[in-house]
Structure 1
């Protein structure tokens, strides 16, 4: 039997590995500029704090045929991605957007991900683990 004290210690250890800062937001409506017709999507921040982006080792989960700059119709493996958040990060749901606002890995800062589903429904959870998909950004060659 795991004691409450042991579980808190394990959660603390898991959170110590969450060295990125992540903002999770949900869409909150669309406004349209009457002069230009441009749409602006408003969002509500549901969580902002510690997090960790993680890939699964082993084989890629999917392969996609891509086109575009330098792609030449190549098949590119897509690794499973996960977002780890503290157990206290509740109220999130599939479709929310997570943005890495600060990271020790500069390549992660600014990256955006869509929450797909939570994969850590368990009694002794040490983190909230979400399956995520990267939202492509504006890449320049």
Structure 2
């Protein structure tokens, strides 16, 4: 086996691993949007974080109580590159889509990431790239 094949095999493993991660992410998004329920939540705070490149990103931390459960404090998994102004949440309330099975898994209205369809297309493209690379280099 030459170095081209070894490098191609490593690239296939990396692409395949990223594709599996994207597939899991797409499934979680689909499940949340399929069985999720909207609820009004209270804005607890806006957390500022660094994006790794010297810029800032902002994430909402919310609190809500599902109809048949205890209070949940959860952080939005999606960030914005600018802080929301006071006019965005004038009464401190925000709508949240939460998973009744896993109430900590949320999406905040206005802070939603890519949809599951876009994520699935990315997954198929990554898997396709891994298969193409496997066939082109290793076979």
- TM-score norm. by structure 2 comes to 0.24
- Pair member with larger Rg: 2
Which is richer in helix? 2
More RCO (CA 8 Å, sep 6+): 2
- TM-score norm. by structure 1 comes to 0.24
